[in-house]
Chains A and B, each alone.
Chain A
């Protein structure tokens, strides 16, 4: 989601030996330039996120080199925006591969060495969308919610080995890699879609939210660092005041008040824009 270089570099500056998984030469370049600009070194390692074998091999090579792995940061993630009916199955499958199954593969690869060491931190970078589902985010939320369920269950499985699982939930962050164009489903701007006008409105909203976001990648990096070095880390860290506030309201407003207000608000907004039907 664009936090990779910032987080890698931040951890390297704090004295960690960082291996950054990259899936393209462009990513590798970005990582190296960011690191060089900050005067640190990050070792890049190739990794095809859609291929669990590739992920396993990458992790194995790190372990072979270092004989230890103190923390895994599951940071890889893609955004996919669009009304559900406008999203294609291959886009959905791809999102699950990158946002969820890649996390599982990397985790599976690191667990043996962490168990052996009797300690380790598995950081799972999810999203506020992993706690709250919204219109045009159905698949994205499905993948992020899934990461939450996975991490929460895993937490209880590996705690006795001294391994702690931590979830990090950023709100909307303005990163250079995540533009409005890059995150839209391929069919979402099809004017034949019954959701078309609503989609355009939502895209505008999204652009605005991106612009107005006060969260920067380094904020996530800081929280990741905290999660790794804290003696007793929380299970969850929410990053971003708006995100924290929304989750707080959702949690403590009684019953389904939050959802109803939200739904009403969304319906009102969309209702004032006629659908295509």
Chain B
């Protein structure tokens, strides 16, 4: 019997691509979305790719929504073999331009939401003696970036959480993996990229730098060969692996940068990379 897969935030971008990819590979996929208006776009993509999956509603910030959806999956599939914690939002803006409420909302979805889903899924996986929990982090969960304090903080948080969790649940036969995509252009990059409300305020001391930073980010994304399908493929690999690594970076350039960071001695990387980043944006 094929493994059941729950993906959160499967309405767009990496989540949608991964849902369809895994469905095509024969997994029993439950693509969940935070808004019911997203059902048609998921169903359409599945149809285009010639695969079947089930679309359900799941709001990761709402525990009752999580429980309801997991119950539905258990009823239909009999098990919850894989949970891909992909739902996540971004917040772009210099820290002082971000509202406390905006920052907390990032954590509500990216961190507490993933934790809530994890909490509800674990008992089933423990009793089954098997399971795979995947957390979609980001290169921003390994290296901090300007105008991304909340986003990076939230992704770093997931890294620490998942790393610890992997040791806690391993004895139950449950595997934990963290996927760290490079910055990849998805629909949300153009439609709803999560710009902080005050980031566009010309009175902000950071205004010009933010404009420049966004311009550079756009250029970087456009020149990056990484695509959502690469993330989907990586997740596919992790699921098939008997002894999956804890972390997988998706994107050659991102992986290279992460490697440099790790192996260059002392703080050489930070001194060069961060000061370069600052210089590119501020000219200082």
Seen from chain A, the residues whose Cβ lies within 8 Å of a Cβ on chain B are: 52, 83-85, 89, 92-93, 96, 100-101, 104-105, 107-108, 111-112, 115, 129-130, 132-139, 141-157, 159-160, 194-195, 198, 234-236, 251-252, 255-256, 259, 262-263, 266-267, 270-271, 275, 277
Contacts and interface: CB of A to CB of B under 8 A. Distances in A.
B205 A115 contact: yes
A42 to B, nearest CB: 28
Given A105-B100, A145-B157, A156-B274, A263 B170 contact: yes
A57 to B, nearest CB: 14
A150 B171 contact: no
B164 interface: yes
Contacts of B165: 84, 133, 138
Contact of A156 (B122, B146, B205, B246): B146
9 residue pairs, one from A and one from B, having the closest CB atoms: A152-B144, A149-B156, A145-B160, A133-B163, A141-B160, A133-B164, A153-B144, A138-B164, A146-B157
A156 B278 contact: yes
B157 A194 contact: no
Contacts of B52: none
Contacts of A155: 144, 274
Interface of B: 94-96, 100, 103-104, 107, 111-112, 115-116, 118-119, 122-123, 126-127, 140-141, 143-150, 152-168, 170-172, 205-206, 209, 245-247, 262-263, 267, 270, 274-275, 277-278, 282, 284
A142 B160 CA distance: 5
B122 to A, nearest CB: 6
Given A157-B146, A159-B278, A256 B245 contact: yes
A61 B9 CA distance: 44
Given A52-B100, A145-B156, A160 B107 contact: no
Given A84-B164, A100-B153, A277-B172, 9 more contacts: A92-B115, A133-B163, A149-B156, A150-B156, A151-B144, A159-B278, A160-B278, A270-B171, A271-B171
B254 to A, nearest CB: 16
Contacts of A115: 205
B168 to A, nearest CB: 5
Given A84-B165, A141-B164, A149 B152 contact: yes
Given A157-B147, A263-B167, A141 B161 contact: yes
Interface of A is mostly: helix
Given A52-B100, A142-B157, A152-B144, A195 B149 contact: no
Contacts of A277: 126-127, 172
A100 B278 CA distance: 24
Nearest to A143: B157
B238 to A, nearest CB: 13
9 contacts: A133-B161, A141-B163, A146-B156, A152-B144, A159-B274, A159-B275, A252-B263, A256-B245, A277-B172
A132 B159 CA distance: 9
A105 B98 CA distance: 11
A126 B122 CA distance: 29
Given A157-B94, A160-B284, A135 B167 contact: yes
Contacts of A104: 95, 100, 103
B1 to A, nearest CB: 24
A275 to B, nearest CB: 7
A195 B169 CA distance: 10
A263 B160 contact: no
Query: Of A101, A134, A153, which is in contact with the most chain B CB atoms at under 10 Å from its CB?
Result: A153
A138 B114 CA distance: 13
Nearest to A165: B144
Contacts of A252: 263
A156 B280 CA distance: 11
B246 A256 contact: yes
A250 to B, nearest CB: 9
Nearest to B145: A153
B280 to A, nearest CB: 10
Contact of A251 (B171, B262, B282): B262
A19 to B, nearest CB: 22
A3 B59 CA distance: 40
A100 B107 CA distance: 11
Nearest to A141: B160
A12 to B, nearest CB: 29
A52 B100 CA distance: 9
Nearest to B161: A142
A139 B146 CA distance: 25
Contacts of B163: 132-133, 141, 259
A191 B97 CA distance: 47
Query: Of A155, A157, A198, which is in contact with the most chain B CB atoms at under 10 Å from its CB?
Result: A157
B245 to A, nearest CB: 5
Contacts of B104: 101
B164 A154 contact: no
Contacts of A100: 153, 157
